[in-house]
Amino acid sequence: MRGKRSLLSLILVFVMVMSLALTGCGKDDPAKDPDVSETDGKSGNEDNKDAQKDSDSGKDGQKDAKDEVKKPEKIKVMVDGTLVTQENGRAAFEKAWTELTGVEIEIIQPDHDAYYDVVGQTIASGDWPDVILLGSTYYAGYASEGVLWDMTEAWENSDMLASGAIPNPELIDGLKIDGRLYGITPARGNGCVTYIKKAWLDNVGLGVPTNYDEYLKVLDAFTTGDPDGNGVNGDTYAVSSAGLIGKEAPYTNYLPEFYQDAFPSFYMNEEGKWVDGFTEPAMVGALERLRDAYQKGYIDKESLTNGTSDCRNKFYEDKFGIFTYWAGTWGTNLKKNLEANGLDGELIAMEPIAEVGAYLERQAPVWCITSTCENPEAVFDIFFETMLDGGEGQRLWTYGVEGVHWSTVAEEVCGNTYTEGQFHMLENLEKEGTQYTKNHIDPMLSIRKFTAFEDPGAWQIAPEARNSQETFNANSKLVPLVLSTEEMSQYNGDLTTLKNEIVANVVTQGMDIEAEMQRFADEGGAEWSQMIVDSLNR
Amino acid sequence: MFRQKKDKVPVSTRSLGKRIYYYRGFYLMFLPVLIFALIFYYAPMLGIRLSFYDYKGIKDPVFTGLKNFEKMFSMKGFWAAFKNTLEISIIKLLINTGAAVVISLLLNELIFLRFKKIAQTIIYLPHFMSWVVTASVFTLILSPTQEGLVNAFLTTLGFVEKGNEIYFLGLRNLWRPAYYVINIWKETGWGTIIFMATLSGINPELYEAASIDGADRWQRMKFITIPALMNTIITVLILNLAKVMNLFESVFVLQNHAVVRQSDVLATYIYTQTFNSGALPNYGYTTAVGLVRSLVGCALVLICNHISKRIRGRGIV
């Protein structure tokens, strides 16, 4: 009996060991296609380029291919919660899209907060959708790993580009990786603009600052004076932010006036070389400005531990007067919340001060076609050309479905009365008492204007929201899209932790900048940074 | 004689298969547990192999041998996190257990039963708050402004000047003390349950006898209560020592960039490497760190088991 037990144990151990040893690499993964294998020494990008060149040689070839393209019966799309959800009438959206295109659509829409977990699992499983929405890090990473279809030629030969309806095609060019395009965004990424309370400026007798010196004067007046008019000097401060450095690109967007031309991560300089902005002299200047302002009390002491909601609440409670926050709808939200607290809600969306030059616009999530899509040219035509057609398709992606998400019937919705023919959004199916504001595309950020008819929802946009958005759009530049390299995966986690620690140490603990920069070098930061830079320039 | 009889274990003469068939009802009841354990505990262990590969979740993993481990052992961040994990966990364990014992003894001295129950309920409540809520509450309480309860109090007492309030969660030398205090507030009450149960099991005749012999309150506590609690204290310490590598949530919600060197633990280090690298993460590396963390945890369990056998005469597993 004892022998049998031992034998059974041995067999079980053997099975476990063998399963551990042999279950490694046998799955039939689409990414294992010879076109993207590592053995030939080419990257996924290069192989995709070759494949693209083989299949599309010139515009005529593209046109012929277009003519020959067979419509797919169904498109499988993966998207986050920025599209109307199942509970909010997604079925109606799918039906309307199918009626518009003649193609069936299957939408995979995981929980918004867990979206990238599910994306990772889906890509790892090998069962890829035809079309997928990706954030910039995943876009660059998946493109370099050969997951995404190279749509450069499809874009360059597209009707929407040829028609000239896209006023800023450079926004799409900004998505190119090594000159190749793997995705398109229907809307700008948006960013933060600096709001300043007009009543506070009036109380201290200053105008809107246009350069850093003027800005400092405002900071000082807001911190040491009585900008809120409560009769007490020095009970306010000028600026608050959620963290001293952002967790993701553009990193500096909550404190642009202090960072100015410094960028604490990787970007391509004017000479076309990748560099790490953290190691440049501009970063030292930024740290000095931040430290000085923090020590003088201009910046909220709690900025290190603030969340964005903490900052908003303090702003509404009139504790500080300058808030760099999202442009567009937030302009209205900030105003309304100030007014709800019985305060003057007039805010000025500042143009960037001279030293800043331009606010940073984040990379918007990108719609991509996967490299396993059987008929990518047709999917491109059907999906993108309708999404940005300037007419019915765009209206569907912007406002949803008539009768479900919007209407023009005379009625009262959530206490608002509309006349016959007046476009308005309907009551949210999930949140009673609130109206929808949009579907997937924010009308203020769309890269294409409506051309078939006037933007039906334009009249609904509050003037302060429009003003802040226009200020931002006219004074912003796109944050660089950083490639994902092996070295980046290996070292950027530790590098980012070290950089963030140094910024916090210098600003909040008042530590010597030179000593901290020396520590950056001593603890391997400079070496990791250089390795990543080299990999990007390779 | 009796002991010899007890040690003699009867051996069944039936085959294993027959015995399984005989007890099939029990095996059937056990089956769901077995399936659950296999699927959710043992099958995921296959992922351990990724620590020997480079893997970004797209292409097939590429075998790299011990490269991930070499990198891990060469990274200062890893060693800082490793050291912090042990330091923070063990200090937290000792402080929390000590506080729980003290509170238990104090509660045990309470005469009015109603007040005792109310006090117990109040100190249990923080355990049921999520760490996210706890962090928010303490960020307000420890705010470096006059709105922060602690700073306002210190200002009133004259220890802190107005305008020079202390940033408890933002200063490197104060973050850990603040963290331990928050932990005491949240977990001590819950920790008293087991000690209160032990205290209620002490024979009251011992106290009566001690009183008759002239022992005062302090002497009764010193010579009866504390010795009676000692075995439980050691048990609690040993059981919790095995879990010291599991530290994550409480640190994650309270840490910030300024104190990362004092607060980063292995679990938060893995999180940073996975989600904050700005690139597709190398799951091979993070799995390697996770594996080391598990192995250290496993070693601690075995050591604790050994200590437990030595002290209590029986193991914990």
Residue A168 has phi, psi (to 5 degrees) of -125, 70
- Name the average pLDDT for chain A: 87
Peptide bond preceding B177 in cis form (omega within 30 of 0): no
Q: In 3-state terms, what secondary structure has residue A108? A: strand
Please give the structure tokens belonging to residue A179.
Answer: 């000159």
- Cβ A473 vs Cβ A189: under 8 Å: no
**Total tally of structural domains belonging to chain A:** 2
Give the C-alpha separation, A281 to A440, whole Å: 41
Is the Cβ of A38 closer than 8 Å to some Cβ of chain B?
yes
Picking from B144, B261, B277, the nearest residue to A488 by CB comes out as B277
Question: What's the pLDDT score for residue A464?
Answer: 94
B171 and A509 within 8 Å at the Cβ level: the answer is yes
Interface of A with B in 205-234 (CB under 8 A): none
Beta-carbon count within 10 A of A459 CB: 10
Size of interface A-B (CB pairs under 8 A): 143
Is the Cβ of B284 closer than 8 Å to some Cβ of chain A?
no
Is the Cβ of B53 closer than 8 Å to some Cβ of chain A?
yes
Closest chain B C-alpha to A89 CA, distance in angstroms: 32
Picking from B61, B145, B261, the nearest residue to A501 by CB comes out as B261
Question: What band does A11 get if pLDDT is binned at 50, 70 and 90?
Answer: low
A138 and B280 within 8 Å at the Cβ level: the answer is yes
Q: Which amino acid is at A534?
A: D
**A158 lies in the same domain as A306:** no
Question: What's the pLDDT score for residue A538?
Answer: 84
**A353 lies in the same domain as A225:** yes
* A351 has a pLDDT exceeding 90: yes
- Cβ B273 vs Cβ B292: under 8 Å: no
Question: What's the pLDDT score for residue A35?
Answer: 36
| B contact test, residue of A305, A363, A486 with most B CBs within 10 A | A305
Interface of A with B in 335-394 (CB under 8 A): none
Question: What's the pLDDT score for residue A7?
Answer: 55
Tell me the β-bridge partners of A104. A74
Note every long-range contact of B178-183, with CB atoms under 8 Å and residues 24 or more positions apart, other chains counting.
B178/B138, B178/B142, B178/B254, B179/B88, B179/B92, B179/B250, B179/B251, B179/B254, B179/B263, B180/B91, B180/B92, B180/B95, B182/B134, B182/B138, B182/B250, B182/B254, B183/B92, B183/B95, B183/B96, B183/B250
* A3 has a pLDDT exceeding 80: no
Is the Cβ of B261 closer than 8 Å to some Cβ of chain A?
yes
Of the CATH numbers 1.10.10.60, 1.10.10.10, 1.10.3720.10, 3.40.50.800, which one belongs to the domain with range B79-264?
1.10.3720.10
Give the residue extent of every domain in chain B.
79-264
Higher pLDDT among residues A460 and A280, named by residue: A280
Question: What's the pLDDT score for residue B316?
Answer: 63
Residues of chain B contacting A489 with CB distance shorter than 8 Å: 56, 277, 279-282
- The answer to whether residue A250 sits within a structural domain is yes
Interface of A with B in 157-196 (CB under 8 A): none
**A355 lies in the same domain as A292:** yes
Q: Percentage of residues in chain A with pLDDT exceeding 90?
A: 69
Residue A90 has phi, psi (to 5 degrees) of -65, -30
The CA angle A406-A453-A107, to the nearest 5 degrees, is 50
A38 and B62 within 8 Å at the Cβ level: the answer is yes
Closest chain A C-alpha to B69 CA, distance in angstroms: 12
**Max Cα–Cα distance, chain A, nearest Å:** 95
* A27 has a pLDDT exceeding 70: no
Question: What's the pLDDT score for residue A45?
Answer: 39
Which among B237, B271, B236 has a CA at the least distance from the CA of B251? B271
Give the C-alpha separation, B229 to B225, whole Å: 6
Burial class (CB in 10 A: 0-12, 13-18, 19+), A69: middle
- Cβ A262 vs Cβ A277: under 8 Å: yes
- Cβ B261 vs Cβ A501: under 8 Å: yes
**A270 lies in the same domain as A349:** yes
Is the Cβ of A504 closer than 8 Å to some Cβ of chain B?
yes
Burial class (CB in 10 A: 0-12, 13-18, 19+), A417: exposed
**A214 lies in the same domain as A356:** yes
**A197 lies in the same domain as A329:** yes
* A36 has a pLDDT exceeding 70: no
* A62 has a pLDDT exceeding 80: no
- The answer to whether residue A26 sits within a structural domain is no
Question: What band does A137 get if pLDDT is binned at 50, 70 and 90?
Answer: confident
Low-confidence ranges of chain B (pLDDT < 70): 1-11, 312, 316-317
Give the C-alpha separation, A223 to A232, whole Å: 11
**A199 lies in the same domain as A174:** no
- The answer to whether residue A441 sits within a structural domain is no
B278 and A20 within 8 Å at the Cβ level: the answer is no
Give the C-alpha separation, A45 to A50, whole Å: 9
Higher pLDDT among residues A165 and A320, named by residue: A320
* A164 has a pLDDT exceeding 70: yes
Q: Which residue has the tokens 């909550």?
A: A254
**A58 lies in the same domain as A147:** yes
**A119 lies in the same domain as A235:** no
**A125 lies in the same domain as A94:** yes
- Interacting residues of A3 by C-beta distance below 8 A, sequence separation 6+: none
Give the C-alpha separation, A393 to A97, whole Å: 8
B277 and A147 within 8 Å at the Cβ level: the answer is no
Question: What's the pLDDT score for residue A370?
Answer: 96
**A238 lies in the same domain as A328:** yes
Is the Cβ of A244 closer than 8 Å to some Cβ of chain B?
yes
Mean pLDDT of A371-392: 93
Interface of A with B in 303-322 (CB under 8 A): 304-305
Picking from B165, B260, B281, the nearest residue to A497 by CB comes out as B260
Mean pLDDT of A362-383: 94
- The answer to whether residue A131 sits within a structural domain is yes
Give the H or E element holding residue A239. strand A237-239
Closest chain A C-alpha to B199 CA, distance in angstroms: 42
Please give the structure tokens belonging to residue A166.
Answer: 């896209």
Is the Cβ of A245 closer than 8 Å to some Cβ of chain B?
yes
Report the complex ipTM.
0.82
Q: In 3-state terms, what secondary structure has residue A319? A: coil
Question: What's the pLDDT score for residue A389?
Answer: 92
Question: What's the pLDDT score for residue B231?
Answer: 84
Question: What band does A382 get if pLDDT is binned at 50, 70 and 90?
Answer: very high
Question: What's the pLDDT score for residue A4?
Answer: 55
Residues of chain A contacting B62 with CB distance shorter than 8 Å: 38
Question: What's the pLDDT score for residue B4?
Answer: 47
Question: What's the pLDDT score for residue B7?
Answer: 56
* A24 has a pLDDT exceeding 60: no
Q: A145 is in which domain, residue-wise?
A: 45-189+364-396
Q: What is the DSSP string of B203-219?
A: -HHHHHHHHHTT--HHH
Query: If phi over 0 gives left and psi between -120 and 50 gives alpha, with beta otherwise, what is residue A531?
Result: alpha
Q: Pick the residue from chain A with its C-alpha nearest to B78.
A: A494
Q: What CATH number is given to the structural domain containing A357?
A: 3.40.190.10
The CA angle A423-A426-A431, to the nearest 5 degrees, is 155
A123 and B258 within 8 Å at the Cβ level: the answer is no
